[in-house]
Chains A and B, each alone.
Chain A
């Protein structure tokens, strides 16, 4: 259990925000922690049926939502984009 700062840019936001996640968090948990703090503050609510996914900024493909921060070897201040699938 190690805290790690991660830079997240949620679809619609003007820039990255830095949140602290646990290295055992899955992407689902990372997405939840990020959206809890930004959606409804700078980004409007996503549709209830929207599926949000995350990818390392600059990568071509998203990470599985079951992947963990540790498993994906996140670096300190790793940058990820969080966006609606499809």
Chain B
């Protein structure tokens, strides 16, 4: 018997809405899990996914992707790539896998909520594939990451990190909990898809995959490609959702969801991928800076996408330009000088040649953030290694969980945005983090940053208490990835002067 073509049965097969008779509509779709924003179900049913696929074709496609990625991995398994890789690339791999494996796996929960509680059958269908995607992404990445465990114990953190109270993990978890895991299905779909996948990960994985190939890490590159193609598909759930909201009088609500989610993910992207792009990528393979990437793909392409959907550019778009050129440079100093609080081996990435690159991409870098590095470098050259680690801890933003930072050096600019509430002073690294807090203080006010926990008695005052609280054994405290050998570049006075 001849099979029908997909387009002949697809629309009918996904019409899975029905009128409940044993329970009420509200019981079937409780508000905390399924906000319809007062848009009738008949309108939600107009959701039409731009990327249609049958389950049969989905499974075949995913199987082919897995075969490709695992085949490359198997073929390269006996290579000495990892052993020969530079500390730059090893640091980037450790940072990527430890932050991404569990985040992807947890995303399956958010997509599962969309699958069950979305009002639109088309969206439920797409979210089903998204759920399966995220399970696969968690599994394939941790499988690839664990390949390196026999070489380097830091890859234990690819699984362990999400269970710890490490300060960077608290920061990332807080952001993902906010946009994906504590929102109703409609809001989570818009926030996760538009604020993370459409804007950042879909595009970032293309760039990172290209970098991996240039560095000779072909198994990582192939794995990223296999993930990116999934992201490109399920990230499109958000677009029809936003369009329906805008066309039915809910533009302001959609706008706010996108603005919160985008900013929360930008701060994570800035600190993690910004450091990855502008510092950890080996200089010989570094072409585009974070700023280049943001200008082209986010400010440009993502900006056009949201305007085409009927939204406005976020109110903080001008401030974003400032943040792109400043925030991650400050965070990189903090990640390095507080390196014992990281699970991987941080690297400074400020050799004379790297500084030249940073100055070319961020004019004025040497007069600003470079001034802090000058002091660190001088201490290392003098053998005063203890003086490369500040005794006092940094102030942490009560929204993004990253350092409250401004501009360093000759153009010093002290930045802190505050809210006083219930006799507690909250600090924020940006007006946008503060704005998000003020939208819904009851949602955020109970959270204590890692530094708040040091002063409210949660963390003990003994010398090892802080590390034990974060889940770090002594061996799991980060040290300079190059054992300070990068400082050799400064030992030739003429080169240093240049």
Binding site for B on A (CB under 8 A): 5, 7-9, 11-19, 34, 37-38, 40-44, 57-58, 75-79, 81, 83
Cross-chain contact of B375 among A5, A8, A37, A43 (Cβ < 8 A): A43
Find the residue from A13, A19, A75 having the highest chain B CB count within 10 A.
Answer: A13
Query: What residues of chain B lie closer than 8 Å to A18, measured between beta carbons?
Result: 392-395, 451, 454-455
9 contacts between A and B (CB under 8 A): A7-B427, A9-B414, A12-B412, A14-B403, A14-B406, A15-B415, A16-B395, A37-B392, A41-B389
Find the residue from A18, A38, A75, A78 having the highest chain B CB count within 10 A.
Answer: A18
Query: What residues of chain B lie closer than 8 Å to A79, measured between beta carbons?
Result: 395, 416, 418, 425, 427
Give, as a whole number of angstroms, the nearest-CB distance from B465 to chain A.
15
Give, as a whole number of angstroms, the nearest-CB distance from A58 to chain B.
7
A17 touches B394 (CB 8 A): yes
Q: Does B390 contact A (CB under 8 A)?
A: yes
B333 touches A42 (CB 8 A): yes
CB contact list, B331-360 vs A, under 8 A: 333-334, 337
Q: Does B387 contact A (CB under 8 A)?
A: yes
Query: What residues of chain A lie closer than 8 Å to B403, measured between beta carbons?
Result: 14-16
Nearest residue in B to A83 (C-beta to C-beta)? Answer: B412
Q: Does B92 contact A (CB under 8 A)?
A: no
A17 touches B406 (CB 8 A): no
Nearest residue in B to A82 (C-beta to C-beta)? Answer: B414
19 more A-B contacts (CB under 8 A) besides A7-B427, A15-B334, A83-B412? Answer: A7-B404, A12-B371, A14-B407, A15-B415, A16-B394, A40-B387, A42-B333, A42-B337, A42-B376, A43-B372, A44-B371, A57-B414, A57-B418, A58-B418, A76-B424, A77-B452, A78-B425, A79-B418, A79-B427
Q: Does B257 contact A (CB under 8 A)?
A: no
Report the bound CA distance from A45 to B12 in whole Å.
74
Report the bound CA distance from A5 to B395 in whole Å.
10
Report the bound CA distance from A81 to B406 in whole Å.
12
Give, as a whole number of angstroms, the nearest-CB distance from A45 to chain B.
9
Known contacts being A44-B374, A57-B416, is A38 close to B390, with CB within 8 Å? yes
Give, as a whole number of angstroms, the nearest-CB distance from A19 to chain B.
5
Q: Does B391 contact A (CB under 8 A)?
A: yes
B395 touches A15 (CB 8 A): yes
B404 touches A15 (CB 8 A): yes
Give, as a whole number of angstroms, the nearest-CB distance from B448 to chain A.
11
B394 touches A15 (CB 8 A): yes
Query: What residues of chain B lie closer than 8 Å to A17, measured between beta carbons?
Result: 390, 392-395
Report the bound CA distance from A21 to B49 in whole Å.
59
A7 touches B372 (CB 8 A): no
Nearest residue in A to B410 (C-beta to C-beta)? Answer: A12
Query: What residues of chain A lie closer than 8 Å to B376, measured between beta carbons?
Result: 41-42
A81 touches B379 (CB 8 A): no
Nearest residue in A to B406 (C-beta to C-beta)? Answer: A15
Interface 0/1 of B402-431, CB less than 8 Å to A: 011111111010111010100011010000
Q: Does B212 contact A (CB under 8 A)?
A: no
A14 touches B334 (CB 8 A): yes
CB contact list, B308-333 vs A, under 8 A: 329-330, 333
Find the residue from A17, A19, A38, A83 having the highest chain B CB count within 10 A.
Answer: A17
Give, as a whole number of angstroms, the nearest-CB distance from B447 to chain A.
15
Interface 0/1 of B68-108, CB less than 8 Å to A: 00000000000000000000000000000000000000000
Give, as a whole number of angstroms, the nearest-CB distance from B427 to chain A.
7
Q: Does B35 contact A (CB under 8 A)?
A: no
A37 touches B451 (CB 8 A): no
A77 touches B392 (CB 8 A): no
A16 touches B420 (CB 8 A): no
Cross-chain contact of A41 among B330, B387, B405 (Cβ < 8 A): B387
